[in-house]
């Protein structure tokens, strides 16, 4: 996979990487990265000599159609682990166990602490359930990673990728061995996660937002829905006004036009009646 897909990516996009010396030549480590684009899962492992195992959502492995089969073949080929995210807390525990197994085999485990792709290119609050628990349960070092400009290669809704140079900055390993075995303390989990996210922020230069990316996505979707409803209501009101403007004016007077009487005509008619 590195020679075929990885080689093609390097030839076409010429990605750059800084801090490769921070990746150990052997032994376990956790690579914690920001997540800007679907293409992160291609460029991230392609720029490293060692294999990186990620947790991938099960939809990547069982989607229908030609595209689905090609996607599944890629993720299986690079040794990614499918996890059914619809299972709630049980799925999260399965992902953590899988990560711990990868570390115990002495391999590199890749994880996106934000839990999902950034909706707007900013860096969001990390979720402590996976990254910190695996780090504290295994004692493995955490290496912060920042993907650069991958969201510009294939923005949402674009089919063909843009040929440009993405990058990767790799920070120095973070040692959390002082918290080893404290993976049940939620305050420690939050502290570890925030420290990692701070290092990713420094590497990436992204603006940090202290809410979860999933919450931000819901807010963006709700805002888009609100605007769509407002636009729909405005168009309906405009159409209603146009219909009213095209209708004849209703004044309350008879439709038959009445010619104005000549001056003095009414008075003479009244005098004639009296005379009669």
In this predicted structure, the answer to whether residue 123 has a pLDDT above a threshold of 80 is yes
Grade residue 246 by pLDDT with cuts at 50, 70 and 90: confident
Tens digits of per-residue pLDDT, 1-58?
A: 777 778 888 889 999 999 999 999 999 999 999 999 988 988 998 899 999 998 777 7
Per-residue model confidence (pLDDT) at position 91: 60
Residue 253 lies in a domain: no
Higher pLDDT: 27 or 92? It is 27
Q: Which helix (H) or strand (E) holds 167?
A: strand 167-170
First to last CA, the chain: 117
Per the CB < 8 A criterion, the answer to whether 22 and 143 are in contact is yes
pLDDT > 70: what percent of the chain?
86
Per the CB < 8 A criterion, the answer to whether 48 and 161 are in contact is no
Per-residue model confidence (pLDDT) at position 89: 60
What distance in Å separates the CA atoms of residue 10 and residue 248, rounded to the nearest whole number?
70
Report the CATH number that the domain containing residue 18 is assigned in CATH.
Answer: 3.40.1130.10
**Tokens of residue 19, six digits:** 């801090």
Q: Which helix (H) or strand (E) holds 91?
A: helix 89-104
In this predicted structure, the answer to whether residue 116 has a pLDDT above a threshold of 50 is yes
Residue 275 lies in a domain: no
In this predicted structure, the answer to whether residue 113 has a pLDDT above a threshold of 50 is yes
Per-residue model confidence (pLDDT) at position 251: 52
Tell me what the pLDDT averaged over the chain comes to: 85
Across the strands, what pairs with 52?
108
**Tokens of residue 217, six digits:** 């996505």
Grade residue 269 by pLDDT with cuts at 50, 70 and 90: very low
- Residue 132 has φ and ψ, to the nearest 5°, of -65, -40
Place of tokens 């996210």: 197
What distance in Å separates the CA atoms of residue 43 and residue 24, rounded to the nearest whole number?
19
CB atoms within 10 A of CB 276: 5
Range(s) of the domain holding residue 122: 2-210
DSSP SS3 for 192: helix
In this predicted structure, the answer to whether residue 162 has a pLDDT above a threshold of 90 is no
Considering the entire predicted model, what is its pTM?
0.78
**How many domains does one find in the chain?**
1
Which range, of 8-22, 92-106, 150-164, 249-263, averages the lowest pLDDT? 249-263
Per-residue model confidence (pLDDT) at position 134: 94
Residue 227 lies in a domain: no
Per-residue model confidence (pLDDT) at position 92: 75
**Tokens of residue 85, six digits:** 């995210």
Higher pLDDT: 193 or 39? It is 193
Nearest 5 degrees, angle CA 21-CA 23-CA 27? 135
Nearest 5 degrees, angle CA 107-CA 62-CA 217? 80
Residue 247 lies in a domain: no
Residue 47 lies in a domain: yes
Tens digits of per-residue pLDDT, 166-176?
A: 999 999 999 99
């Amino acid at each position: 996979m590195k020679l075929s897909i990885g080689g093609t990516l390097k030839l076409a996009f010429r990605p750059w990487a800084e801090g490769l010396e921070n990746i150990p030549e052997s032994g376990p480590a956790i690579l914690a990265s920001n997540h800007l684009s679907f293409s992160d899962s291609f460029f991230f492992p392609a720029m490293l000599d060692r294999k990186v195992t990620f947790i991938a959502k099960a939809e990547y492995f069982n989607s229908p159609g030609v595209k689905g089969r090609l996607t599944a073949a890629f993720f299986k080929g690079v040794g990614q682990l499918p996890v059914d995210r619809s299972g709630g807390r049980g799925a999260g525990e399965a992902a953590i166990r899988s990560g711990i197994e990868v570390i115990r085999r002495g391999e590199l485990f890749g994880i996106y602490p934000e839990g999902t792709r950034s909706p707007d290119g900013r860096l969001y609050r990390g979720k402590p359930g996976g990254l910190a628990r695996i780090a504290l349960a295994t004692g493995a070092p955490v290496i912060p990673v920042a993907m650069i400009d991958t969201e510009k290669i294939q923005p949402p809704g674009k089919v063909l990728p843009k040929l440009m140079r993405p990058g990767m900055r790799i920070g120095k390993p973070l040692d959390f061995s002082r918290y080893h075995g404290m993976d049940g303390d939620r305050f420690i989990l939050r502290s570890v996660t925030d420290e990692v996210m701070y290092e990713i922020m420094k590497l990436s230069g992204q603006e940090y937002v202290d809410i979860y990316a999933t919450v931000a996505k819901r807010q963006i979707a709700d805002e888009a829905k609100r605007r769509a409803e407002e636009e729909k209501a405005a168009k309906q009101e405009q159409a209603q006004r146009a219909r009213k403007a095209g209708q004849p004016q209703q004044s309350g007077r008879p439709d038959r036009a009445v010619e104005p009487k000549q001056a003095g005509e009414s008075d003479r008619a009244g005098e004639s009646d009296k005379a009669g």
